[in-house]
């Protein structure tokens, strides 16, 4: 239990003990945010003796790493965070669930769908959390795009693309990332974030095309891409390439609507840029979705020039605009906030099962299912 009632009927938050299995640089980053959530205390670390893990132990004063069995046997640990390479997610998550622990696991949930399904069934049987760290749905930008899709100031969504030109400077040839038996490949190891993001906006999708490219001379998979069809008519293109200098690492997400484009920068987007041609009411709705945005008017159309046409439909256009929102936000600060929000959301559910979570156990499975479908199709069309 992580909550109790006082004599006055108020909820009193009790401390939940957190244990971590595996810990590299990202594990330390995540733990520094998880431990800022009210009622969370890191108790122990297991399954790693890397220099980063020793530094993490010093950071939190939890002593040297212990064996996994010893960590899972501790009664003061109720929640386990698994931050190992992907091929270890399934065995450690299973072991933790069997020990009666709640589990937060780094993406992906597992490397095989049958393993992920087994974990979900086990979590239900044990009455425990099993959350994959898919934190994108906690981003305020996620909500803004959801409003655009619902309120439709830019009309219907027609197409979208996500282009991820990632750095590989920290991924030497011997790194587990390049070993498909350990990582699952780029779609599985990395793409699950973005399959889940678009599923949150558009619902379940279907992979209709995919391809990958191997690096000449080494044979490692360095580029993958796929097209997913959503809602029967919206085509979304996903591209991931790990081949850039660190200082050239960049991502861009574009959403093409009937009346304008929306651009999101970075793989955890903080900034939104909209370019559109709208009437007065559409402009008002757009500004309501993005309060305190900077709105630049590019052109204003006189009465005789307001009439336009697209998709066989007449359009009444008052002005062309460029809108910028969120440029004061910092990516790493946003990243940390998403981690805190994810864990706080799950703990709120543990305290009150009526709480509706943004991320559930099913998200980890569904995103993996999409990634495996894309990966299997891509392998059949290797370049």
Query: What is the chain's alpha carbon radius of gyration, rounded to the nearest angstrom?
Result: 23
The torsion angles phi and psi of 171, rounded to 5 degrees, stand at -125, 80
Q: Are 183 and 87 in contact (CB under 8 A)?
A: yes
Residues 85 and 112: beta-carbon distance below 8 Å: no
Q: 3-state DSSP call for residue 212?
A: strand
Q: With a cut of 60, say whether residue 9 has pLDDT above it.
A: no
Give the pLDDT mean for 250-278: 95
Q: Which fold has domain 3-136?
A: Rossmann fold (3.40.50)
Q: What is the model's pLDDT at position 327? A: 82
**Percentage of the chain with pLDDT > 70?**
95
Q: How far is CA 43 from CA 37, 183, 283, in A?
A: 15, 28, 52
Q: Is the pLDDT of residue 49 over 70?
A: no
pLDDT given at position 310: 95
DSSP 187: I
Is the fold of 3-136 the same as that of 137-334?
A: no
Where residue 1 falls among pLDDT bands split at 50, 70, 90?
A: very low
Q: Write down the domain spans for the chain.
A: 3-136, 137-334
More confident residue, 330 or 323: 323
pLDDT band at residue 7, thresholds of 50, 70 and 90? very low
- Within a 13 Å sphere around the CA of 179, how many CA atoms are in the beta-carbon half? 10
pLDDT band at 6 (very low <50, low <70, confident <90, very high): very low
pLDDT at 231 over 90: yes
Model confidence pLDDT, tens digit, residues 117-166: 999 999 999 999 999 999 999 999 999 999 999 999 999 999 999 999 99
Mean pLDDT on 38-44: 94
| Residue-by-residue DSSP string for 3-54 | EEE-TTS-EEEPPEEEEEE---HHHHHHHHHHTTSTTEEEEEEES---HHHH
Tell me if 74 sits within 8 A of 100, measured CB to CB. no
pLDDT single digits (tens) 335-371: 999 999 999 999 999 999 999 999 999 999 999 999 9
**Do residues 101 and 132 make contact, with C-beta atoms less than 8 angstroms apart?**
no
Provide the whole-model pTM. Answer: 0.93
pLDDT at 4 (0 to 100): 44
First and final CA of the chain: distance in angstroms?
Answer: 53
Instruction: For domain 137-334, give the CATH number.
Output: 3.30.360.10
CA distance to 99, 235, 271, 275, per residue, from 157 (Å): 46, 10, 19, 14
């Amino acid at each position: 239990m992580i909550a109790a009632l006082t004599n006055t009927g108020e909820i009193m938050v009790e401390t939940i003990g957190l244990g971590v299995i595996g810990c590299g640089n990202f594990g330390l980053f995540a733990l520094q945010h998880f431990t800022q959530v009210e009622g969370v205390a890191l108790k122990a670390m297991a399954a790693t003796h890397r220099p980063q893990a020793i530094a993490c132990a010093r950071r939190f004063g939890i002593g040297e790493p212990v064996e996994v069995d010893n960590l899972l046997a501790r009664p003061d640990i109720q929640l386990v965070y698994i931050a190992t390479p992907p091929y270890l997610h399934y065995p450690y998550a299973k072991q933790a669930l069997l020990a009666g622990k709640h589990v937060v696991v780094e993406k992906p949930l597992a490397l095989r769908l049958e393993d992920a399904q087994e974990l979900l069934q086990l979590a239900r049987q044990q009455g425990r959390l099993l959350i994959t760290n898919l934190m994108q749905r906690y981003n305020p930008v996620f909500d803004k795009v959801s409003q655009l899709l619902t309120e439709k100031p830019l009309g219907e969504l027609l197409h979208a693309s996500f282009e991820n030109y990632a750095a590989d400077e920290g991924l030497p040839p011997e790194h587990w990332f390049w070993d498909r038996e350990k990582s699952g490949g780029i779609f599985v190891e990395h793409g699950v974030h973005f399959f889940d993001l678009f599923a949150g906006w558009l619902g379940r999708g279907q992979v209709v095309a995919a391809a990958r490219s191997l690096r000449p001379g080494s044979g490692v998979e360095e580029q993958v891409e796929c097209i997913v069809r959503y809602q029967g008519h919206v085509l979304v293109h996903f591209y991931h390439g790990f081949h850039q200098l660190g200082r050239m690492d960049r991502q861009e997400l574009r959403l093409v609507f009937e009346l304008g484009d929306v651009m999101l920068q970075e793989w955890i987007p903080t900034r939104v840029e909209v370019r559109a041609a709208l009437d007065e009411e559409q402009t008002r709705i757009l500004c309501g979705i993005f309060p305190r945005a900077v709105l630049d008017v590019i052109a204003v159309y006189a009465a005789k020039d307001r009439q336009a046409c697209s998709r066989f439909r007449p359009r009444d256009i008052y002005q062309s605009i460029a809108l910028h929102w969120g440029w004061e936000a910092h990516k790493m600060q946003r990243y940390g906030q998403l981690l805190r929000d994810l864990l706080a959301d799950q703990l709120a559910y543990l305290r009150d099962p009526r709480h509706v979570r943004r991320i559930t156990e099913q998200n980890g499975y569904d995103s993996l299912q999409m990634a495996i479908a894309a990966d299997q199709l891509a392998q059949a069309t290797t370049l």
